[in-house]
Amino acid sequence: MSVGLDDVVAAETALSHVDGEAGRLIIRGFDLEELAGRQSFEAVSSLLWRDLAAAGDAMAVRHALGAARVAAFPIAERLLPMSAGLSPVEALRLMLSGLSDASPIPGHVLVTAAMPVFVAAITRHRDGLAPVAPDAALGQAADFLRMLRGQAASPAEIHALDTYLVTVIDHGLNASTFTARVVASTRAGMVSSVIAGLCALKGPLHGGAPGPVLDMLDEIATPERIRPWLEQALDNGERLMGFGHRVYRVRDPRADVLKHVAATLRAGANRIQFADEVERAALAILAERKRSRPLQTNVEFYTALVLEALALPRETFTPVFAVGRVAGWAAHVLEQEAANRLIRPQSRYVGPLPKRAA
């Protein structure tokens, strides 16, 4: 039995494939590097959704998402006052609950469009600012940054965020995607399946790591402290955030894409140089200490630097991850629904038997 289902194949999918030995992520027949930075979030969403829903091409998806963002905005306004005391990811969970499967907007479009509207509103609310209404004419990345800031972002920033959203859009049967598919298999519907996916993403072993990556860089603070800090953390039995992966045995290809993106954002130049030093030291120390398991940099390490350079607060990093991943969750829900069988594995009972057992 595999406690973490490590090598268990639990679904067939035509959406994406993670080759952990080669360090390759294939999305619908394309290597990630062919898509990220070259195709928009809308184009890759339409690639994921084609054959599963009436998705149309990139432009059709862009129009549909723009209109659906506008439709989702009143929900953000209505539920914001109820989010007091919740963390951003908890507030996002609350707002997604305001969406209905009975909406006339197709479920995959609704959840994908709502995500940036909600995350922007939540982010502004924690700074005491009123939400900014969506602009249906913009793409998701440009409108998300505009709704966050109340003013247009630069083309370089929009391109960086768009590249990030594509980089995290889908990733095989990761914990949140599997969760979404399990819920979809009960025929619970798109909204409930996506909320379940978000709940799985929340944990630090999955989508909650990039905030702690920045905490780590802040605590290390200076080059002389890098090695002693990392050694101490490992001596204390801690995990280094942004390193290691269940599937990759070589470097996560998403880390390289995002490292390149981070370098294009001048705001983070010193930080990126320092992070580079921390990364090199961490990899050397992990190689010395964890000889049984090749541990490499994962997507979260450079996610942290890209999102920080875009002036996003670290508490919102997990919700921002969801702004990209939601298109993949939605595709998996559609794929599950198209050839559904209730996902219902067995457990092996290791508890005591009743006294009268035969």
Cβ of 49: how many Cβ atoms within 10 Å? 23
Residues 6 or more apart from 250 whose CB is under 8 A from it?
Answer: 20, 21, 22, 23, 294, 296
Catalytic residue among 300, 308, 335, 337: 300
269 scored as a contact of ligand CMC (CB under 6 A) = no
151 scored as a contact of ligand CMC (CB under 6 A) = no
290 scored as a contact of ligand CMC (CB under 6 A) = yes
Q: How far apart are the first and last CA of the chain?
A: 26
DSSP 169-238: S--SS-HHHHHHHHHHHTT--HHHHHHHHHHHHTSTTTTS-HHHHHHHHHHH-SGGGHHHHHHHHHHTTP
206 scored as a contact of ligand CMC (CB under 6 A) = yes
Q: Report the C-alpha gap between 168 and 326 in whole angstroms.
A: 9
Nearer to ligand CMC, 69 or 171 (CB): 171
> Does 157 qualify as catalytic in the annotation?
no
**Site mask for ligand CMC (CB under 6 A), range 232-251, x = bound:** -------xxxxxxxx-----
| Contacting range for ligand CMC; rule: CB under 6 A; set: 7-15, 21-29, 67-75, 201-209 | 201-209
| Contacting range for ligand CMC; rule: CB under 6 A; set: 123-131, 264-272, 273-281, 295-303 | 295-303
> Does 245 qualify as catalytic in the annotation?
yes
Residues 6 or more apart from 256 whose CB is under 8 A from it?
Answer: none
Residues 6 or more apart from 149 whose CB is under 8 A from it?
Answer: 311
**Site mask for ligand CMC (CB under 6 A), range 297-336, x = bound:** -xxx------------------------------------
28 scored as a contact of ligand CMC (CB under 6 A) = no
Which residues are the active-site residues?
245, 300
Q: Report the interface residues with ligand CMC, using CB under 6 A.
A: 4, 171, 174, 205-206, 209, 239-246, 290, 292-293, 295, 298-300
